[in-house]
Amino acid sequence: MGLAARSLYLIAKYIPLSDSEAQAILYHDGQYVEGNKEVAHHEMLLTLLAHFADLWTAHIYEEGRSIQEDTDYYDKKAE
């Protein structure tokens, strides 16, 4: 059982979840994971939000950058 499925299993034992919440937990890694291809381009909005949050977190924290560095970068691109 993968991490997302295990997370969904544990949470659902204690908290009732909507279909949108369950999908967001299960498929937050996005369409780039082989097992997630079945929902590619059919994601609920919460799933997309969770996926983008996961990507951004990885971008900031796994690269050792600060949030300020990231927001400064996008502010400069907008000018």
What would the pLDDT profile of 43-64 be if each residue is shown by its tens digit?
A: 778 888 888 888 888 777 777 7
One DSSP character per residue, 14-74 reads: HS---HHHHHHHHTTT-TTSGGGGGGTT---HHHHHHHHHHHHHIIIIITT--HHHHHHHH
What would the pLDDT profile of 19-33 be if each residue is shown by its tens digit?
A: 999 988 887 776 666
Judged against a pLDDT cut of 70, whether residue 74 lies above it is answered with no
At 34, the pLDDT band (50, 70, 90 cuts) reads low
Domain boundaries, the chain: 3-78
Judged against a pLDDT cut of 90, whether residue 6 lies above it is answered with yes
Judged against a pLDDT cut of 70, whether residue 73 lies above it is answered with no
Q: What type of residue is 16?
A: P
pTM > 0.75: yes or no: no
